[in-house]
Amino acid sequence: MKKVPAYVLKYTRGTLYVILSLVVALLVFSQTSLFRSILKDELTSILNNTFRGKVTIGSIDGTLVTSLIVHDIRVADSANTEIATIKRIEVYPKLLEFFRNRINVDKIVIDGMTADLVTDSNGVLNIVKILPKPSEKKEADTVSKPFPYLIKAGTFEFTNSRLNFRKWNFTDTSAAYESLNMDDMRVRNIDIKLNDILIDIAKNSYQITFSRFCLEPNLLNTPKLSVEGGIDIEGRSIDINELKLKTAKSDVLLDYHTRELNIFDNFTTDSLEKADFVLTMVATPFHFADLTSVVKGFDLIKGPVELNFEASGNFINTDIKELELKSRQTGLKLAGNILNVMKADRMRISAEITNSTLNPLDIHELMPGLNLKQFLEFPTIKIDSIGFYGSPLNFRGGLGLKSASGNIAGTFMRQISVPRNSISVNMLRCR
């Protein structure tokens, strides 16, 4: 075996020393105020040459290797009308991970953002006006390639921020609405902390943990909304792990798992219908005022309701293990099975309410708009059983009820056919 000539080793070592010295020098230089000043000027120049507005940066601290902190960012349109400001952006990168096809950061912080996204009288959003003009060159047809990088972040924080999305003529900053107003949406405070973020677009894999997710929208019924829990999506698997949604009036927990649904590839109503799942929902309570915030004009049901719901199967054959509803003095317990949930004309229901209590006046309290109070003034009812079997239009069943005024047992049936409809009720009242 031939020995490597001494001069080759000498020049190789020399080259490595030079490269190492340059790297060390660059690292040292990157920590100087001169480098940060040059970086700020270059970054500002690139942004202003890219966008059709005006971007300014107050100062930059830190280094590219350990942490980078950008202060006092301002974004304006060509007329210098302010669109957004950010007090501070912090990034703690892991640069070496980039060579392993990973965009990896320990922590990202966006603090003190104020954004006013305004649509003018022509329906054009102000931020759209500053985006780069689309290229007029026709690109050759190419096969799209998946994004090659895995994105990871230990922590993402978005704090002390506010966001407006409004039309030009909505200028009242204190305006609040019973339901979402798409012409004047304002989030007066944003406080978000996300952990264990993983995004792999090529594999349709997404993972995120909501440690803190608090919003204060301009909604009268839902002035505060917070979310905690975890979401993990990978291929055909979806795991929503004890996701907690809280408002000033509601406290809802959602737990959902499936291994048979890919929402990013060939997602159809058919695939949704056939996907097996396990679902748990607990509300302690859910207040229907919060539903009014997203469904304009909904006022049929009012007030709080406690809910405990467990179901499994798929939307072709859904097993309801437990559905428990509580409101005031009423408590209903239901179990059963529903076939073809997503096809009303083929839906079949087999369900039974047992060991339950109904206070008739609670119906009026929940649905005051129906004005049924005068028809509901009778004693609390003990429900031994109420069975329902059939479709929403053609069904049969039986019931057994007890109250201080007497007991009722019987059967009922409804059949709709052409050209004749029929309803049959057979009741026996026992003292």
Q: Give me 72's structure tokens.
A: 């006092």
Mean of pLDDT over the chain: 87
Asked if residue 399 has pLDDT above 60, the reply is: yes
| Close Cβ partners of 382 (under 8 Å, ≥ 6 residues apart) | 356, 357, 401, 402, 403
Q: Which domain holds residue 207?
A: 41-130+146-220
Asked if residue 184 is part of any domain, the answer here is: yes
Asked if residue 35 is part of any domain, the answer here is: no
How do residues 183-224 score in pLDDT, each as one tens digit? 999 999 999 999 999 999 888 889 999 999 999 999 999 999
Contact between residue 215 and residue 165 where contact means Cβ atoms under 8 Å apart: no
Give the DSSP letter of residue 52.
S
pLDDT value of residue 31: 66
**3-state SS class at 431:** coil
- Identity at 72, one-letter amino acid code: D
Asked if residue 261 is part of any domain, the answer here is: no
pLDDT value of residue 28: 60
Asked if residue 241 is part of any domain, the answer here is: no
Work out the average pLDDT over 65-83: 92
Give the helix/strand (H/E) hosting 45: helix 33-50
Asked if residue 24 has pLDDT above 80, the reply is: no
Asked if residue 296 is part of any domain, the answer here is: no
Domain total in the chain: 1
pLDDT value of residue 97: 83
Asked if residue 404 is part of any domain, the answer here is: no
Least confident of 110-119, 170-179, 420-429: 420-429
Asked if residue 169 is part of any domain, the answer here is: yes
This prediction's pTM? 0.82
How do residues 30-47 score in pLDDT, each as one tens digit? 667 777 788 888 899 999
Q: How confident is the model at residue 151 (pLDDT cuts 50, 70, 90)?
A: very high
Asked if residue 188 is part of any domain, the answer here is: yes
